[in-house]
Structure 1
Amino acid sequence: MIHQWRWDPCISHNGADVSTFIREYFQGQDRNVLLIAGAGFDPRAKVIAEQIAATGVRRRAIFMRENRPNPSPPLVTRASGNIEGLTAAFPDHEIAEIQIFEIDLAVVGGRNAAKVVARQNFDGVTDVVVDVSALSVGTSFPIIRLFVEQIAKGLAPANLHLFVAHDPALDAAITPIAGDTPGYVHGFVGGATLDRNGSAAKLWLPQLASGRRGALGKLHEFVIPHDTCPILPFPARDPRMGDRLVEEFLTELESAWSVDARDIVYADETDPLDLYRTILRLNDLRRPVFSEVGGSVTVLSPLGSKVMALGALMAALERDLPIAYLEALGYDMKPSIGAVAAPPHFVHIWLEGDVYPKPRPPLHHERTNAR
């Protein structure tokens, strides 16, 4: 099948190559960086910022502090320590207080984060870096979407880089406290709420993650899919991870979701492009099959690894796919986790930039608006 996908090929780096890229690329005298990163409790919050600062590049930052109800005092203390390190690495900075919930617990974090970005002055900035390591999906995805759309209009710096410091063991030590109201990530409703898609065959692609049975159960009730294809990490750092997730979700797979073993989607835990291509293939294969009977809608729920979540993000951007998500009311973390992150696995995606030839395959909304 001949296809034109925007990020195939894609400029990306993995593992030790990411540190090499940061060191060689940002040392250029013509670079001026705007970093957007989380200023929370996650021990990975400072890792990318410190590597960029070590190059001596001209730089400033927006550090987003995601505020949720009744935060745990030990996590607040950890966040304060991270902020000290982040501000030392980026003396020219803004700390943006992002309220994730309204008083009535309506989710507004993505909208608030996008407003902070929209009012920025990008004069002289050559590269925007979004470090999603310590940002939630509900906050980081709307920011990234805004930059992609602004770059297409010539209103933002041409180069957009996504970084993540990946550590499955640390992810397992952080337990989100799920909220009660699932919804769509700000900017990622897609066609899920359109009347013309009311009879469409709905495919749900949830990322399975340990400890998230309750959240994924609520999302299933919210999406009400006709078919479910769970996403498992394979290959993964822990070769047994997929097996353990199947055991944990066995009731959902066999009963509530009625999943056949052939419906499970496997994606490389350390390569977002693997999941990106898989989602696009599934979406493109379903389109002609259901075109005469109401169409097809593919709904994503990236609750697992942030590396794999980037793959879901890229597919959602390209096809304007809805992302159903349950924002966390708060987090718990094992007290045994140190304040400094163990050496993580780095991933870099050069999402937009002058490195790509023009013209590029258009995004879904660009094709629609051109008609």
Structure 2
Amino acid sequence: MTKNRWDNGITHHDGEAREFISTYFSQTGRRVLILASAGFDLRSTAVSRAIAQTGVTCRGIFIREERPNADQALRARADKNAEQLKIVVPDSKVVFIDIFDPVDQAVVGARRLTRDVLPILAEGEPPTDIVVDASALSIGISFPLVRLLDNLYGQKPGTPNVHLFVTEDPHQDDQVKPDHAERPMWVPGCDGDAGSDLKSKSIRLWIPQLVLYRTEALRRIHDFVDATETCPILPFPARDLRRGDVLLEHYRTLLIDTWEVDPRSYIFAAEREPLDLYRTLLRIDDARQKVYGQQGGSLMVLSPIGSKLLGLGALLAALDRDFPVAYLETVSYAAQLGAMKNLEPDDWPIVHLWLSGVPYA
């Protein structure tokens, strides 16, 4: 059986996460580089503010995802968040990343991210710690960014510690409605060679994460992946104990009549523990490789389009086993700002995951 990188992964939740921030980042000699979103989401500033309050030497790269025809109210909210981030971390830059090419509308966000952010990583005194706050970053940006950092620093001695943070609230996510692009695609840097001739012979298992109001998006991704089997992810346990039931009812026709999902094929993963889903996915892969090893092999395709924390679990699995990740890029967002929680930055629940560095040396 393959050794798993994060079987003994380090995570902290809520009060423990804030205690980790206050004790760890206040240590003498720490230099922190924060990469976070300068978007409209109210959670954009929580992690950066918590780290900056420790007094640690830090600088920031705040990513502004630019999409055509963005809602002006959301753009104004993003401008306000960007101003607050620059106050919290004065030594910082806001980097504007076009997600779509203005000429042919091709998805170019990941390429622009690498082009514009990579040179900034080399500026100044090398950091002891790099923090990625994925709370308000899209999949098309956060996954390639973490892949880039893992390629640069993961499992290499003498390189910075890399931390992932998420400030998540499923209710908050339900208030944001994305307008998706027409054509699904592989997340850049996380395609797992799914289009190669060798992988085309593999028996494909599609593992989508169910989230409300994404019926058409999931339908398109399913057709794109062309999988033999489908095993949807349901959050359990979850803050809302009925959330799994609500999702099953919402997608009843699609799951039963269209995809013909066997009742035994659902994957239950703890909503706030990314390592739970990570370990589950790797156990499934180990079992399938034994069964299908002589029949062209098994290929697991992930589509984490819902919960940020479950998305981190899928990301870890993709980094560890090079699973392909299929998704639909977002053209624009609509958000019910009045229905969104307006908590103070210190009140948002935070989850920390130590991706690489000293503990894993």
Tell me the C-alpha RMSD between the 2 structures.
Answer: 1.5
Which consecutive unaligned segments of at least 5 residues does structure 1 have? 358-371
The residue number in structure 2 matching 1:344 is 348
- Alignment check: 8 A CA contact 2:275 2:313 kept: yes
Return the alpha-carbon distance in structure 1 between the equivalents of residues 36 and 339 of structure 2: 21
- Identify the residue that residue 64 of structure 1 maps to in structure 2: 63
Instruction: Give runs of aligned pairs for residues 48-127 of structure 1, distance below 5 A.
Output: 48-103=47-102, 104-119=104-119, 120-121=121-122, 123-127=125-129
CA distance in 2, matches of 1:54, 1:229: 43
1:123-272 → structure 2 map (5 Å cutoff): 123-152=125-154, 157-272=159-274
Residues 172 and 341 in structure 2, CA contact (< 8 A), matched pair in contact too: no
Q: Secondary structure at the match of 1:355?
A: helix
Counterpart-to-counterpart distance in 1, 2:333 and 2:57: 34
Matching residue's letter, 2:183: T
Distance in 1, matches of 2:266 and 2:27, equals 44
Sequence identity of aligned pairs in percent? Answer: 44
Aligned residues: 356
In 2, Cα distance between the equivalents of 1:338 and 1:203? 35
The Cα offsets for residues 22-77 of structure 1, whole Å up to 9 and x where unpaired, read as 00000011100000000000000000011011001000000000000100010011
SS at match of 1:341: coil
2:154, 2:356 within 8 Å by CA — same for their partners in 1? no
Cα distance in 1 for residues equivalent to 2:343 and 2:304: 23
8 Å Cα contact 2:207-2:233 kept in structure 1: yes
Please report how far the alpha carbon of residue 340 of structure 1 lies from its aligned counterpart in structure 2 after TM superposition.
Answer: 3.7
State the alpha-carbon separation in 2 of the partners of residues 33 and 253 from structure 1: 45
Are the aligned partners of 1:37 and 1:134 in contact in 2 as well (CA < 8 Å)?
Answer: yes
- Check whether the contact 1:191–1:297 (CA below 8 A) recurs between aligned residues: no
Unaligned runs of 5+ in 2: none
Aligned partners of 1:78 and 1:339 also within 8 Å: no
TM-score (norm 1): 0.93
2:327 is matched with 325
Q: CA deviation at 1:155?
A: 9.8
Deviation at 1:317, TM superposition (A): 0.3
CA displacement at 1:94 relative to structure 2: 1.0
Q: 1:285 aligns with which of 273, 284, 287?
A: 287
Alignment of 1:278-317 (within 5 A): 278-317=280-319
2:28 aligns with 29
Deviations 1:316-337 (A, max 9, x none): 0000010001011111111314
Corresponding residue SS for 2:337? coil
Mapped to 2, the partners of 1:129 and 1:327 lie a distance apart of 24
Q: Which runs of 4+ in 1 moved over 6 A?
A: none
TM-score, length basis structure 2: 0.95
Question: CA shift at 1:156, angstroms?
Answer: 8.5
